[in-house]
Amino acid sequence: MTSGLAVESLTVRYGGLVAVDDVSLEAPTGRITGLIGPNGAGKTTLFNASNGLVRPASGRVRLDGRDITRLPLARRAQLGLGRSFQRIELFNSLSVRQNVELGREGVLAGSMPWRQLFSRRSEQRTVAAAADEALVVCGLETFADRPAGALSTGNRRLVELARILAGGFHMLLLDEPSSGLDDRESERFGAILTHVVREREIGILLVEHHMELVLSVCHYLYVLDFGKLLFEGTPQDAVRSEVVRAAYLGTAA
Amino acid sequence: MRTLRRRVRALLPYLVLGLVSGSIYGLTAMGLVLTYKTTGVFNFAHGAVATGAAYLFYELDAKRGLPWPIALALAVALIALLGGPLMEAIGSRLRRVPVATQVVATIGLLLAIQGIVVAIFGAVAMPFPAFLSSRTVRLPGVFVGIDQIVVFGVAAVLAVGLFVFFRSSRTGLSMQAVVDNPDLVGLRGTSAVRVRTVAWMVGLATAALSGVLLGPSVGLNAPFLTLLVVQAFGAAAVGGFASLPLVYVGGLLLGVAAAIAQKYVPGHQFLEGVPSSLPFAFLLAMMLIAPGRLARRTTGGRVPPPPARPLPPVVRRFGPVVVVGLAAAVPAVVGTKLPIYAGGAAYVVLFASLALLVRTSGQASLCHAGFAAVGASSFSHFTHGAGLPWALGLILAGLVAVPVGALVAIPAIRLSGIYLALGTFGFGVLLQQLVYRTHFMFGRSGPLPVPRPAGLDGDVAFYYVILTIAVLTCLVIAVLTRQRLGRLLHALADSPLALGAQGVDVNVTRVLVFCISAFFAAIAGALLAALSGSVDVAPFDPFQSLLYLVVLAVAGSGQLRAPVVAAALLAVVPAYIAGSDTLATYEPVVFGLSAVAIALAEGSRGELSALVRRGAERGRARIARGPAAARLERAT
């Protein structure tokens, strides 16, 4: 049993449309796994099924070997599955620091009413420490007191990442984190990802269109097309693969 | 077999009645859904427009002596042609504000229109001029009025016409497109503004026409006609707030079900509220059967609410102390007006509990009057009825409302924004219709006696009792919102999705905040009841919940400041204005229009800040491209 996320023969249907068709993949901890494919290939749907926003028609989702297919969103997060969104989801009226703090605060609050009402003093220290560290890792110290809604797209992506890092999840699903970033920003983003995976032994499943970023940070790649798994292998193999070129790289270049 | 046939025959007149009113409900609901789908703004004042039209028709036809076809055409045309552009101007700003603010604004409109009608024509219901022939014709098994045939026919033909218009005319098709992407419609040479204006005109015209058509059967009855919006959204629920034909069918079902219920109600007291609570039964049923159809709409493209303007530190630290000090000195100053201040203190409790829901967690609750009613009536049962000590009775009264709050939170789990507002309002009306009159609450034997605490029953002593409770409530809420719950609620208001993805079970959070809010609202209800010595259903009309929400919106920002200001506005200030009797009639108008104005100001601010942000991003992009590019751009 490996730790990390495993998707087994997953199928998701929207009405008559098959968005994800019998896909299996593994994203173990300690490495960055890329998931690429043209628009509408089913990448975000696969994410949504993995973390409980969409119910799959068949197949399983496992986290550290445990079947989480039927668990609700919050429960999966409590087990260590973190998630960022293609359309950045921040708490816009709160400050950057409050956003990042809520990363850990949320996991601690969980599902029990009493835990949602009050925090213990020791927890408050944990929250502050986790937020401090995440802010430093993402280089957001100078923005800590700014309202999150007022930042640029690049920094908003970083705030979302910092919030997930503060949550202490060991498996992250990142949905197109570099969209809206310029080259310099996405390079920096990639460096942060590589850093946290090495330091914390966490796993990342990365959906991304920015091929430079994918090729430079991912250890392993899956390619989806029309809901089906088209290819899996190292990034080097992917670049060489005729199938992948035809379906994806060819059109992107 | 024969008895069955006789039974069916006995039902026929009710079926006719139901089809006639149902046809009108269906038409109104189609108008409501059409505007909602096209403009993105749900118009709570849809029924109030019907009220306005009915009275306008009455003025033109009965008082000015115009022939009815002209009066009808004039009333509908005036409302549609003047109202359409006005509502588009309002609506275009409302699209930028959070849904809770949208709800407040259109409810403000509702209160204002109804308030104006009542101020001009009086609150007493009047007979409506019977403008259609009331001769009857005999159909197989039943006599049908010509007026009934005409009303049914007109509504049905217009409904079909509306559907055809929406499906095949160029403007109608643009309406479907404008919801999805206003800019795209603009590109194709159709002005989104024009399309939305037409949608408003069509919606308003259906409302106005429905008001006039319903008039003869219900009379000039402002609250009743205003509640037409309730029938409309019951019908709209059947169509999933989307399918126009189904919406019309929903209207027919609603009308028929209500009429047939009417037949069986006499003689069964507990069924009395059934006909008027049917729309909510429909809504709740839709929520249970097909929750997907009422799925949460994302709030994309909306600006975050303005952060509460921080006060200077001195004011923040000493302000509460000064306010409490002043409040403590009130009995020495105000003389016989003291009970008014006692009421004000009780309202602080009510508004603080409402602010916790609306302000902090961004959920619109429209059944606070219901929570207060639960508190007031059960407090009487505990103290006067069961003889429990006063303080214990008060806490128990609060606790009784907790499961009620949890029950109301169920729609909050599935719905958000506008549907949540409708669901909670519906719950308030259901409570009033089905439970207020049972012996669990107020019963039917006159007002319930409500005691004051023994030994503290003088006006001054009791004022201090209420003040103490108000201060305690504010302290508890201040502590809660500063603790983890407060942070979770603020986050919930911004993005429930992100909060859930961080591991918080947001449904637990929602239920929790509704329970806490209901608890304090019930305490407030009990205090208000004890203040007046006895309590009946009148002060807890569901419309009061609308007024509470609007007054709180007018009272400005601040977790605790707004409740204090709101209580003062509602309970204390009117007592100091000369001729406060006439003022009382205009009160809903003033509050309603203020709420609209505030929402509009917020919408315009949103426009501004969006502009500023776009400008900043452009500037940033320019800098990223280097000085030469920036110079070049400046030069061109």
| B132-146 tens-digit pLDDT | 777 777 777 777 888
Nearest to B523 by CA among B396, B405, B632, B341: B396
Q: What integer is the mean pLDDT of B141-154?
A: 82
Which residue of chain B is at minimal alpha-carbon distance from A91?
Answer: B494
Q: What integer is the mean pLDDT of B515-542?
A: 91
Q: In what order do the strands lie in the sheet with A58-63?
A: A17-28, A4-14, A58-63, A66-67
Q: Per the CB < 8 Å rule, is B505 touching A74?
A: yes
Confidence (pLDDT) at B616: 54
The Cα A24–Cα B290 span in angstroms is 32
**β-pairing, A17-28 with A203-207?**
unpaired
Q: Yes or no: say if A162 and A103 are a contact pair by the CB < 8 Å rule.
A: yes
Confidence (pLDDT) at A76: 94
Which run of H or of E encompasses A35? strand A32-36
Confidence (pLDDT) at B97: 81
ipTM surpassing 0.95? no
**pLDDT tens across B305-343, in order?**
555 556 677 777 778 888 888 888 888 888 888 888 999
Helix, strand, coil % in chain A, rounded to nearest 5: 45, 25, 30
Confidence (pLDDT) at B631: 40
Handedness of CA B220, B430, B405, B416 (dihedral sign): negative
How far apart, in Å, do the first and last CA atoms of chain B sit? 89
B485 neighbourhood in chain A, CB within 8 Å? 116-118
Cβ of B2: how many Cβ atoms within 10 Å?
6
The Cα A156–Cα A173 span in angstroms is 17
B615 is written with which tokens?
């400008």
> A186 to chain B, minimum CA–CA distance in Å?
14
Length, in residues, of chain B? 636
The Cα A250–Cα B485 span in angstroms is 51
B470 is written with which tokens?
């108000």
* Assigned CATH topology for domain B2-294: ABC transporter involved in vitamin B12 uptake, BtuC (1.10.3470)
Please, which residues 196-235 of chain A have a Cβ atom closer than 8 Å to chain B? none
* CB proximity A157 to B under 8 Å: no
A77 neighbourhood in chain B, CB within 8 Å? 500-503
The Cα B546–Cα B107 span in angstroms is 7
Lowest-confidence region among A72-81, B161-170, B176-185: B176-185
Instruction: Answer yes or no: is pLDDT of B613 > 60.
Output: no
CB-nearest to B503 from A92, A107, A152 is A107
Mean pLDDT across chain A, nearest whole number?
89
Contacts of A50 (CB under 8 A, 6+ apart): A5, A7, A61, A81, A173, A205
Confidence (pLDDT) at B612: 56
Q: Per the CB < 8 Å rule, is B494 touching A111?
A: no
B511 neighbourhood in chain A, CB within 8 Å? 113
Handedness of CA B280, B283, B288, B291 (dihedral sign): negative
Confidence (pLDDT) at B182: 61
Q: Which of B505, B510, B557 to mutate to test the interface with A (most CBs of A within 10 A)?
A: B505
Q: What integer is the mean pLDDT of A112-131?
A: 91
User: Where in chain B do CATH 1.10.3470 domains reside?
Assistant: 2-294
Confidence (pLDDT) at B615: 54
Nearest to B327 by CA among B313, B347, B309: B347
Highest mean pLDDT among A27-36, B58-67, B575-584 belongs to A27-36
The model's confidence at residue A150, banded by pLDDT at 50, 70 and 90, is confident
Q: What integer is the mean pLDDT of B214-238?
A: 82
Length, in residues, of chain A? 253
* CB proximity B494 to A under 8 Å: yes
The model's confidence at residue B477, banded by pLDDT at 50, 70 and 90, is very high
Cβ of A70: how many Cβ atoms within 10 Å?
11
Strand runs (DSSP E) across chain A, as ranges? 4-14, 17-28, 32-36, 58-63, 66-67, 81-83, 171-175, 203-207, 220-225, 228-233
Nearest to B278 by CA among B467, B384, B434: B434
Coil, strand or helix: which one is A32? Answer: strand
Cβ of B154: how many Cβ atoms within 10 Å?
16
Confidence (pLDDT) at B302: 42
Nearest to A206 by CA among A45, A76, A44, A32: A32
* Lookup result for tokens 């090729």: A215
Confidence (pLDDT) at B189: 59
Q: Yes or no: say if B540 and B376 are a contact pair by the CB < 8 Å rule.
A: yes
Instruction: Answer yes or no: is pLDDT of A161 > 90.
Output: yes
**pLDDT tens across B9-62, in order?**
778 888 888 888 899 999 999 889 888 888 888 888 998 999 999 999 999 988
* CB proximity B100 to A under 8 Å: no
The model's confidence at residue B301, banded by pLDDT at 50, 70 and 90, is very low
* CB proximity A51 to B under 8 Å: yes
Strand runs (DSSP E) across B381-484, as ranges? 448-449
Q: Yes or no: say if B491 and A95 are a contact pair by the CB < 8 Å rule.
A: no
Instruction: Answer yes or no: is pLDDT of B201 > 80.
Output: yes
Instruction: Answer yes or no: is pLDDT of A142 > 80.
Output: yes
The Cα B597–Cα B587 span in angstroms is 15
Mean pLDDT across chain B, nearest whole number?
82
Per residue, the 3-state secondary structure of B317-376, as one string, reads HHHHHHHHHHHHHHHHHHHHHHHHHHHHHHHHHHHHHHHHHHHHCCCCCCCHHHHHHHHH
Can you name the residues that pair with A95 across neighbouring β-strands?
Answer: A147
A164 neighbourhood in chain B, CB within 8 Å? 502
The model's confidence at residue A35, banded by pLDDT at 50, 70 and 90, is very high
Q: Yes or no: say if A159 and A96 are a contact pair by the CB < 8 Å rule.
A: yes
The Cα B220–Cα B126 span in angstroms is 5
Coil, strand or helix: which one is B235? Answer: helix
Confidence (pLDDT) at B456: 85
* CB proximity B491 to A under 8 Å: yes
Q: Per the CB < 8 Å rule, is B485 touching A78?
A: no
**pLDDT tens across B421-472, in order?**
888 888 888 888 888 888 788 887 878 888 888 888 888 889 999 999 999 9
Confidence (pLDDT) at B267: 65
Q: Which residue intervals of B46-145 are DSSP H helices?
A: 46-58, 68-94, 99-121
The Cα A193–Cα A30 span in angstroms is 11
Q: Which residue intervals of A35-117 are DSSP H helices?
A: 43-51, 73-78, 96-109, 113-117
Instruction: Answer yes or no: is pLDDT of B419 > 60.
Output: yes
Q: Yes or no: say if B327 and B445 are a contact pair by the CB < 8 Å rule.
A: no
Q: What domains lie within chain A, and their CATH numbers? A: 1-80+170-222+238-253 (3.40.50.300), 92-168 (no CATH)
* CB proximity B490 to A under 8 Å: yes
Coil, strand or helix: which one is A168? Answer: coil
Q: What integer is the mean pLDDT of A8-33?
A: 90
Confidence (pLDDT) at B581: 65
Q: Per the CB < 8 Å rule, is B503 touching A78?
A: yes
B503 neighbourhood in chain A, CB within 8 Å? 74, 77-78, 106-107, 109-110, 167
Question: What is the DSSP code (8-state) at residue B220?
Answer: B
Which residue of chain B is at minimal alpha-carbon distance from A119?
Answer: B484
Can you name the residues that pair with A27 across neighbouring β-strands?
Answer: A5
CB-nearest to A105 from B484, B500, B509 is B484
Q: Yes or no: say if A40 and A18 are a contact pair by the CB < 8 Å rule.
A: no
Confidence (pLDDT) at B86: 92
> A74 to chain B, minimum CA–CA distance in Å?
4
C-alpha count within 13 angstroms, C-beta hemisphere, residue B153: 7
The Cα B383–Cα B452 span in angstroms is 9
Question: Helix (H) and strand (E) counts for chain A?
Answer: 11, 10
Q: Give the burial string for B243-277 (b: 16+ CB within 10 Å, else e).
A: bbebbbbbbbbbbbbbbbbeeeeeeeeeeebbbbb
Q: What integer is the mean pLDDT of B584-596?
A: 85
Which run of H or of E encompasses A225? strand A220-225
Q: Per the CB < 8 Å rule, is A105 touching B488?
A: yes
Coil, strand or helix: which one is B389? Answer: coil
Nearest to A37 by CA among A174, A206, A234, A236: A206
Can you name the residues that pair with A60 across neighbouring β-strands?
Answer: A8
Share of chain B above pLDDT 70, in %: 85
**β-pairing, A66-67 with B534-535?**
unpaired
Which residue of chain A is at minimal alpha-carbon distance from B612?
Answer: A150
